[in-house]
Amino acid sequence: MGNIQKEVQVKLAKGLLDLIVLQFLSTQPMHGYQIITKIRKSYGVYFGPSTIYPLLAALEKKGLVNSQWNMNNERPRKTYNLTTQGQTMLNFTENTLNLLCQKIG
């Protein structure tokens, strides 16, 4: 992949990062490192903890996700879940994006 294509890929992923995180959380609860890893595997771009954790905090403040501490592992992990409001926002955003893509293409 050329530099221009990679740049476009990163910009699109960054612009849709809220949607990507909500989509991942719609399938299962996840902790921050899982989200970082899944983004890299799914989209080939890396967003580090300094991007993901503030985003998760902002989504939680908006009521789109909630969190709880999981103490089952060797160290505590904060696990994030999609709320009903988050699912509603995810559905709205996906529908809006689909309409936009139809108009472009």
Q: Of all residues in the chain, what percent carry a pLDDT higher than 90?
A: 72
Element spanning 78, H or E: strand 77-82
Q: Is 67 exposed, middle or buried (0-12, 13-18, 19+ CB in 10 A)?
A: middle
CATH of the domain at 71: 1.10.10.10
Select from 85, 49, 104, 2 the least CA-distant residue to 96. 104
Whether 14 has a pLDDT exceeding 90, the answer reads: no
- pLDDT given at position 1: 65
pTM: 0.88
What is the total count of domains within the chain? 1
8 A C-beta contact, residue 70 and residue 31? yes
pLDDT at 90: 96
Q: Which residues of 12-27 are buried (b: 16+ CB within 10 A; e: fewer)?
A: ebeeebbbbbbbbbee
Residue 67 confidence (pLDDT): 97
- Kindly report, residue by residue over 46-74, the tens digit of the pLDDT: 999 999 999 999 999 999 999 999 888 78
